[in-house]
Structure 1
């Protein structure tokens, strides 16, 4: 993932709501969200190269998602896929905080990342760039390719629109509009992450359009207080046009 906004215990009818965009190279083979045949309790999209995922949920209500930490100086071509960490977290039967701490002990083996994990009792994050693991307070949390809450323009914009959408969370169109916003930030507001000005511009919008790379899917996950889960995944082609849609509603085990 490259942008995640999550409301943790911030709405009485929805313990967790997540709106997220996955940015990736378009040639990389990917399966849309589905119940995994080899791990039947997991519902997630799947990277068909390394067999991991970027975001998923389980029948018992465990959630996990990951963003890369953008710093070209820290790239590691020999590192294992970070999507395997999301898979590990979803398949774990330990509490979310214990699962995060277990992964944190091995995070130096991977290129930098941020891993979010939640279960019925807690919502937490491991930021490998700072070797920090912590549980989060109820509220709205926004994450992109830096540390949690870093005030990049697209994060500020997405969080503001997410807060507005949270007033009527049953209306999915408000969340979809925020995830589809491809307005770039002004040059004066661009972060400096080491990728050059042209790419800073291309990556500065919530919905990314770039040569051979961009937002390939958008996800809306809503866990309800009545123990039902709504999962919607919209897929996009290289031109940013609709390429598929998955909808799943299930009761928590």
Structure 2
């Protein structure tokens, strides 16, 4: 997952509105949003190469999402970062105990940000500096640096979420995630990957030759604890491969379409 924007405990939008794009190589096999056969109360997409996930939630309200941290130095971890999402959401560890495990194990993974916790008490862990913070109420964006780093794509999503005065409809908000507007050179970060790649990676929606946005997601939690989760799957060249929509309540998952 390469950009996550959330309105968290805001008066206008309620407990949680989370929208996110997962960027990945087109050849990496993935399963679309669904309940997991080996963890039937868990809902999310699935990485079929390593078995983990980029964004998932379960009927207990345990939620996790991961982004990588980009610094221009190619790093391959001994373990897949998707394991972090799977381990927290399907596990039973208390969040602070899980955070202690993250600190001990973080060097086993390529650099990452992890958003995790019960949906009403989210935490953010940055593996680069080992810092854990409780997410404060408000509008936040997490891309491939620290929380709320003002990259071009992050600022565009923040502005759009901030403009909302009521909980959004799927048809209203999902198109934001297909915005392929690239940053001007002056607005590009310097993460050590070179100017051409910085520009290719700067939009909210990425279309590259071998790499691009593979999934766009909208996850909402309302004041009654009802969870809505929608996803658009994307293929090479930004071709839409399908849409899925689910709802869940504690102890009673239900597919809606």
CA deviations on 1:56-97 (whole Å, 9 max, x unpaired) are 110111110000000232x33352101001111112223334
Question: Which runs of no fewer than 5 residues in structure 2 stay unpaired?
Answer: 252-257
Partners in 1 of 2:11 and 2:112 — Cα distance?
28
Look up the match of 2:185.
187
Give the conservation status (yes or no) of the 8 Å contact 1:207–1:215. yes
In 1, are the aligned partners of 2:26 and 2:214 still within 8 Å (CA)? yes
Tell me, what secondary structure is at the counterpart of 2:10? Answer: strand
- Pairwise CA distance, 1:12: 6.0
Q: CA deviation at 1:173?
A: 2.5
Q: How does 1:119-130 map to 2 (within 5 A)?
A: 119-130=118-129
Q: Which residue matches 1:163?
A: 162
CA distance in 1: counterparts of 2:149 and 2:168, whole angstroms: 28
Q: What SS is found at the alignment partner of 1:9?
A: strand
Alignment check: 8 A CA contact 1:19 1:220 kept: yes
Instruction: Using structure 2 for the length normalisation, give the TM-score.
Output: 0.93
Structure 2 Cα separation of the partners of residues 12 and 98 of structure 1: 33
| Secondary structure of the corresponding residue to residue 105 of structure 1 | helix
Aligned equivalents of 1:63 and 1:242: distance in 2? 26
- Label 1:98 to 1:134 Cα distance change in 2 as closer, same or farther (>3 A): farther
1:13 is displaced (CA, Å) by 6.1
**Other structure's SS at 1:72 match:** coil
| Cα pair 1:63 1:118 within 8 Å, conserved | yes
Count residues in correspondence. 251
- What is the alpha-carbon distance in structure 1 between the residues aligned to residue 178 and residue 184 of structure 2? 18
How far apart are 1:98 and its partner, in Å?
Answer: 3.1
Instruction: Name the structure 2 match of 1:45.
Output: 45
User: Secondary structure of 2:39's match?
Assistant: coil
Compute the RMSD of aligned alpha carbons.
1.5
What SS does structure 1 have at the residue aligned with 2:122? strand
Q: Is the Cα–Cα contact under 8 Å of residues 77 and 108 in structure 2 kept in the other structure?
A: no
Gaps of 5+ in 1: none
